[in-house]
A and B are shown apart, each in its own frame.
Chain A
Amino acid sequence: MEALPGTQNLPKLLGLAAALLIVGWLLVKGAGDVKQFTRVTLNGLTLSALFFVVASGFTLIFGLMRVVNMAHGSLYLLGGYLAFEIQKAWFTEESEGLNLSLASPTGSASEYGLFGWLVPLLLACLLIGVLGVVIQQLFLRWNQGEDLRQALITIAISVIMADQMLAQFGGIAKDVKPPSSWPESITLFGVQYGFFRLVVVTGAALAIGLFLWWLIKRTRFGLIVRAGVDDREMVSALGINIPIVFAAAFFIGAMLAGFGGVLGGTMLALEPGEDTSFLLSSLIVVIIGGMGSLGGAAIGALLLGLVDAYADVYLVFGDTDLTNYSILLTFALLIVVLAVRPLGLYGRPA
């Protein structure tokens, strides 16, 4: 790119200035109420964890196959719904007392054991993984390399899935229940915070991050995946069965979307529109972090989650409440990152 002398570093300087400004603003706001600051930060971190779980599958599929899976958000939502249905069908046990209480619409009348959450989780992940492979085998296998056509195909699939889910599960928000034996909340830094969000979701994200890191950096499968990212034809010529590797990667990627859906369905809610919302967050995470990069997805998720959380609370200046403009900060984040790194923080030219 041509640039006037002395302006080459302008985007970087602007980015740095923006970052400093944001940190300063947070310090000023945070110092006022430390407890609230802790709570908001935890909101951001747990949201980031969920974003990471979902986006890691998206970036894995893209990294290896150059497939932008626009149905990723639909797989997320369907995963959550499947877990909900399995839990409702197999594990709902009426506890004693009349189940008529209007005061507790969240259904505290039902008790769920540990398996009442784990079994739906595992089954939903498995089913979504299989569905992902079916989609890949039927629609994406034979047109490898036509990335625009593949993106359009997955968009069509997401339209159909969204409509069918609306027909099957309706428009009312549903949620998956965590095991009743788990505590509601724990106390951290003097702040009470939801146990599921803080421990389970964050723990799952860390575990998945570590697992994927191990899988990609330390196993033969990962070796093939990394080689495949760099040069598919060569790997194939070396006698590696690339179609199987692709199917496996699609299985894992889709499964991660389903896993995210169960976590999100327990932590937040399942309703039409969540598929769009998580497709958008996955897109932003990988655009910021760089397509195909796991570390980038982690950083991108962290940035997006924290910006979301802080903007929801701290966009208040004196009497002017600008919190409903918070999406503009997400937009600004995207602009700043793309101005400095057009391919995302860890993106490489493909």
Chain B
Amino acid sequence: MTQRLGRADAISWALVAVALLVLVFAPLIFTNFFVSVILTKALWLGIAAASLIFLASYAGMVSLGQVGMYAVAGMMFANLVAADGGLDAAWNPWIATVAALLLATLAGLLFGAVASRSEGIYFLMITLALGVIVYYFFAQVTQLSGFGGVNSPELPALVGNPGDDPVPLFYVTLAASVLVFLGIRYLVRTPFGLAMQGLRDEPDRMRALGFNVTLHRTLAFAAGAFIAGVAGVLSVWYNQRISPGSIALGQTIDILVIAVIGGLYRLEGAWVGAIFFALLDNYSREYTPNIGEVLGPERFNTLIGVIFLVIILVSPGGLVGLWEKARERIGPSSGGRRSRAGPAGEEELAPGGSAVS
């Protein structure tokens, strides 16, 4: 960047730096409970949401199949290591992790090949169908999912036992989040990433230039599946179990809610949304008033559904979108449109609309 950083940009980066600093020293600042239940959970949920945002913002593909990919990786890991239920293959946890990520990527290639010829809202529907099919697959095949889940899988020694000491897993998840964030920022600057953004904005023109549209979209989906796979494996490390119930449509919607709350076209929004979600998930149950049977501590899904609805209605850019609106008032940004914006402007949920019409 040759331009001088604008004031608002400087504030943005300062915020990211402060957030990172707070996270690095989090185990000293917060209780173990908070580090585990809020921060660690938010970090891996953020990775899952980042895979969705990555596809939505850079490839123009809003996928609801990310939990399907995450499920493949998580289930595979849980089955390959020594665990209670499932195949119980007793592989080394690290080898199992690599194998699980590989398989998720392969599944991503297959699913991507199926879905990539469709665009916009069709793509959304097909990936949703694929994601739900993965859920039904694991729900039916009890050889893989145990009866009611695969429990207490063996974890890498590095992570230790998160139940006793959540700090190592927290740092592993933090490192994975930073790597995923930087990895995506790097990937979108490579020729492949640029082609992907070209396909998002002008598929016909790119086709005329000789780019294989379907292939690029398929590869992008596979990359998204890999990222989702990272979240899937981390979720198993965090929960120390995986069951069909944890990869059902509800989880797909949670990840979507996180992505939309954070802002569907801003990568950092994934973790902002995830923190918000984890806080809400944990603390709303204490403070939600009982209103008949309509609202109360038991009705978390109603609460999250209403918040989700309000955000889509009021600020399609999510929380980060609100921040960017505020930023425009603080001062001009540093010239040059950022590549991470959605194709048809900052505030619209547009790729579907433009692709189908």
Contact = CB atoms under 8 A, between A and B. Distances in A.
A164 B294 contact: yes
A60 B216 CA distance: 33
Interface string A123-157: 00000000000000001000001111101110111
A280 B129 contact: yes
Contact of B140 (A153, A324, A338): A324
Contact of B305 (A151, A156, A324): A156
Contacts of A327: 133, 136-137, 140
B356 to A, nearest CB: 5
Interface string B272-286: 000000000000000
A15 to B, nearest CB: 14
A146 B316 CA distance: 11
Interface residues of B, number: 51
* Residue from the set A146, A148, A157, A284 with the largest chain B CB neighbour count within 10 Å: A148
Interface in A163-182: 163-164, 167-168
A59 B260 CA distance: 26
Given A151-B124, A155-B256, A160 B301 contact: yes
B312 A152 contact: yes
B238 interface: no
Contact of A343 (B122, B249, B312): B122
A256 interface: no
Interface stretch (B155-163, B221-229, B326-334, B344-352): B344-352
B140 to A, nearest CB: 4
A328 interface: yes
B340 interface: no
A148 B352 contact: yes
A156 B118 contact: no
A326 B141 CA distance: 9
Contacts of B356: 66, 147, 350
B14 interface: no
Contacts of A345: none
Interface of B is mostly: helix
Interface residues of A, number: 44
Contacts of B125: 68, 283, 286-287
Contacts of B306: 156, 160
Contact of A148 (B120, B293, B304): B120
Nearest to A166: B301
Interface stretch (A102-110, A198-206, A214-222, A329-337): A329-337
Nearest to B300: A163
A148 B301 contact: no
Interface of A is mostly: helix
Interface string B285-313: 00000000110001111101110110011
A148 B141 contact: no
Interface in A237-290: 276, 280, 283-284, 286-287
B120 to A, nearest CB: 7
Contacts of B293: 167-168
Contacts of B129: 280, 283-284, 287, 334
Contacts of A276: 132, 248-249
B118 A159 contact: no
Contacts of A66: 121, 356
The 8 A-B residue pairs with the shortest CB-CB distance in the complex, in nearest-first order: A159-B305, A148-B352, A163-B301, A160-B305, A156-B309, A342-B117, A156-B308, A163-B302
Given A145-B353, A159-B301, A328-B137, 18 more contacts: A139-B309, A139-B313, A146-B348, A148-B124, A148-B353, A149-B349, A151-B121, A157-B305, A159-B253, A163-B302, A164-B302, A167-B294, A287-B122, A325-B137, A325-B140, A334-B126, A338-B118, A342-B117
17 contacts: A66-B121, A68-B124, A146-B348, A147-B353, A155-B256, A156-B309, A160-B306, A160-B309, A162-B301, A163-B305, A283-B128, A325-B140, A325-B141, A334-B126, A335-B114, A338-B114, A342-B117
Interface of A: 1-2, 66, 68, 139, 145-149, 151-153, 155-157, 159-160, 162-164, 167-168, 276, 280, 283-284, 286-287, 291, 324-328, 330-331, 334-335, 338-339, 342-343, 350
